Amino acid sequence: MKEPGEGNGQDGSTAVSRKGEAAGRGLGEQSFSALLAVLMTAASYGVALVMGPVEVRVGLLPTTFVAPPWYLASVGLPFGLLLAQALIEFRRHRFTWNGLRITFGLVLVGALGGIRWTVPLPTSGHGLIVAYFLASELTELRPGRTWRLAVGCLVLLQAAYFKLYLWHDPASLLVGIGLGLLAWGIERAVVMVRVAKEQEAAERAKRQGG
């Protein structure tokens, strides 16, 4: 026969244990995200070194500037964090909706970024990826959101320094940010359509059950 409060004590210890496991899992996932972001940045830096001097066109003008390798590599930080989040979602629930949604966003960002290689449109790849990354982080309650936002803001400030101060090229930065927000808006629209369908299905099931 259980003593008074014995069951509550067990429930309390179980809840504490689960909270500890969740905290440990969250810390591990944040460490994985940071590690992948650093590896992506290092890989980007290595590619930039192998490619040699990369000339960056200023808007639609024939003027070009040589971008340092570390500037080109910095975009690996937000991209790596987004990729890590998709892999974490897949690990949790295999092909979960959140993982597919993030992957869709990355593919969309890549497709929009490819426009600058096919259409003479001044586009900043840094502005595109960072704008999408920051918009996603501001709308998702993920663990470690504060330091992730800080990383995105630092990369954006660096891009702004080069584009606005050194290269006097605000057009490509603004176009890149606009395309990044467009990618985020398309992703949000897809999410809203899915949520609406799920709510509709739940209401239908409720009416049938009643």
Asked if 88 and 103 count as a contact pair (C-beta separation under 8 A), the reply is no
- Annotated domain spans of the chain: 6-209
Instruction: Report the range of poorest mean pLDDT among 80-84, 116-120, 181-185.
Output: 116-120
* Adjacent-strand bridge partners of 55: 66
Please, what is the average pLDDT of the chain? 80
| CA-angle at 178, arms to 161 and 122, nearest 5° | 65
Q: What is the pLDDT of residues 94-116, one digit of tens each?
A: 656 677 777 888 888 877 777 76
Considering only CA atoms, which of 80, 136, 84, 76 is closest in space to residue 105? 136
Question: What is the Cα–Cα distance from 110 to 95, expressed in whole angstroms?
Answer: 21
> Six-digit token pair at 21?
């496991």
Considering only CA atoms, which of 176, 152, 175, 157 is closest in space to residue 80? 152
Question: How far are the Cα atoms of 3, 70, 97, 101, 169 from residue 164, in angstroms, in the given order?
Answer: 71, 18, 38, 33, 6
Task: Identify the band that residue 16 occupies on the pLDDT scale cut at 50, 70 and 90.
Answer: very low
